[in-house]
Amino acid sequence: MLSARKFGRTSIFQSMVLGIAILAYVGLGDSVWAQSQPISPSTNDVDLSNDVEVAEEAGQVVEFEPALPGSPVYGGSLWERPNFTGDWFGSRSLLAAGGIKFTGDLTNYHQGVVNGGRNQHFKFGGHSDYVFDFDMEKVAGAKGMFIRVRGETQYGEFVNRDTGALLATNASGLFPTAGEQATALTEFTITQFLSETFGVFAGKLQTMDGDKNDFASGRGKTQFMNVAFVANPGLFRTVPYSSYGFGFVVLGEEQEPLLTVTAIDPIDRSTELNLDKVFEEGVTLSAEGRVRTDFFGMKGHQLLGVAWSNRDVALLSSGARLLLPNFATPTSNESWAMYWNFDQYLFVDPCDQSKGWGLFGRATIADAATNPLEWFLSFGVGGNSRIAGRSNDTFGAGVYYAGTSSELPGLLLGNDGQGAELFYNFQVTPSFHLTTDLQFVDPSLGLVDDSFLFGLRGKLDF
């Protein structure tokens, strides 16, 4: 295992300079994109049902034959196919044609504090997602009904507590339960569309995929690792990661959510399947709108949302009383947060409109009486690499500022937190990506030194 002390300040400086140089070249270098087009990540998920339906409407008799290894649907060899396990000798394509799609991944992290922080050592941890999507019209003839089931596993150790920062430097270490090795069913959602653009949903909901951003989302697995660039941390006090609820969605352009309104149990139920206590402690209401923009003649998005909860939570100003057991802790029966994010492409590949790079940003204001983060800002650049022949690689560079609540006693958190992250994500094969990651963290805890972190991430799509 690499020793943090041997890494040294000189190596830290060299690594940061190298990271900045790589990102400067990626973002501002040669604008010539590779002309050869790689295999699409969706090659192994080809939906053949539409072709079948068209043929049947034309009076043709269609016999579906599962794809064989080496065929276009299978994705070819291990160095070409988008899923490590391939097409399961045709079963994967057959299931997709019947309305059942499976996506899964295994992501490992080797990350450590190389200077500063509370502890200086590397840790190894990982996370897996297993997602099943059911198109119930194909499965059972229920038109407009879709079901999503998600399981998650966290294992190993993460360095989130070693930096002294309020925000986790590795988002995967937070789910399904922060800092615990666990497997849980975090999503079981049934959505019924009543028209082409309006649907209702209910079930066990997971909220991490909200607050979407083209350059700063990815659940900590495909883009940034620090939670400050994965989601809006100002919502964590009000909105649980996984719990039971219901709501409705309105679709806009490209069949993406235009408006989503949700009512959800405010208690995190990631590891629970019991419905007996749902909404027993109140409700969290949220509304989020995301619209497409075309500034500079290129794609972008503007997102605005609000969340409110009537769950009883302790007032932050009562923190000092935790040391005095004879005093009752005052509480508030509401907490709220408002948030915004944007992404804006500055360059789009003329050969592939789905690839490009641009700017992103997030902002939050929240109830200072109950939320440790009174406000939050982040800004950065990210997208696909501009190195010729490497357009499936991605990169990102961002900075954030976390304004802690003025209601917090100084003995708990003395400062506002801030940090920065640089990453470059190499596509080794279509199913395997390797990421190098550098982070700087100025923690909120006044007695803890600034942290420098180095990490490697390997993600395998199976």
Q: pLDDT tens digit string along 163-188?
A: 888 899 999 999 998 878 889 999 99
Task: Name which of 78-82, 92-96, 268-272 the model is least confident about.
Answer: 78-82
Average pLDDT for 389-410: 87
pLDDT above 70 (res 30): no
pLDDT interval class at 274 (50, 70, 90): confident
β-pair partners for 227: none
Global pTM value: 0.80
Q: What are phi and psi of 176, to 5 degrees?
A: -75, -20
Average pLDDT for 272-295: 92
Q: How do residues 185-198 score in pLDDT, each as one tens digit?
A: 999 999 999 999 99
- Residue 10 has what pLDDT? 40
pLDDT above 80 (res 66): no
User: What tokens appear for 88 in the block?
Assistant: 């399961």
pLDDT interval class at 79 (50, 70, 90): confident
pLDDT above 80 (res 116): yes
User: What tokens appear for 340 in the block?
Assistant: 């915004």
Residues 418, 399 contacting (CB under 8 angstroms): yes
Q: What is the DSSP letter of 33?
A: P
pLDDT above 90 (res 17): no
- Residue 412 has what pLDDT? 52
pLDDT interval class at 405 (50, 70, 90): confident
Q: What DSSP assignment string belongs to 202-253?
A: EEEEE-TT-S--SSS-GGGTSS--SGGGTS-GGGTTTS-SEEEEEEEEEE-G
Residues 437, 455 contacting (CB under 8 angstroms): yes
Higher per-residue confidence, 50 vs 309: 309
pLDDT above 80 (res 84): yes
pLDDT above 90 (res 259): yes
Q: How do residues 313-372 score in pLDDT, each as one tens digit?
A: 877 765 544 444 555 567 778 899 999 999 999 999 988 888 999 999 999 999 888 888
- Residue 33 has what pLDDT? 32
- Residue 323 has what pLDDT? 47
Higher per-residue confidence, 70 vs 418: 418
- Residue 319 has what pLDDT? 53
pLDDT above 90 (res 309): yes
Q: What is the mean pLDDT of the chain?
A: 82
Q: What are phi and psi of 253, to 5 degrees?
A: -65, 145
Residues 365, 374 contacting (CB under 8 angstroms): yes
Q: What does the alpha-carbon distance between residue 305 and residue 336 come to, in Å, rounded to a whole number?
A: 11
CATH 2.40.160.180 in the chain, residues?
A: 7-31+102-461
Q: Span 7-31+102-461: which CATH code?
A: 2.40.160.180
Average pLDDT for 76-82: 82
- Residue 423 has what pLDDT? 98
Q: Residue 63: CA atoms inside 13 Å, Cβ hemisphere, count?
A: 1
Q: What does the alpha-carbon distance between residue 226 and residue 208 come to, in Å, rounded to a whole number?
A: 14
- Residue 372 has what pLDDT? 85
pLDDT above 90 (res 141): yes
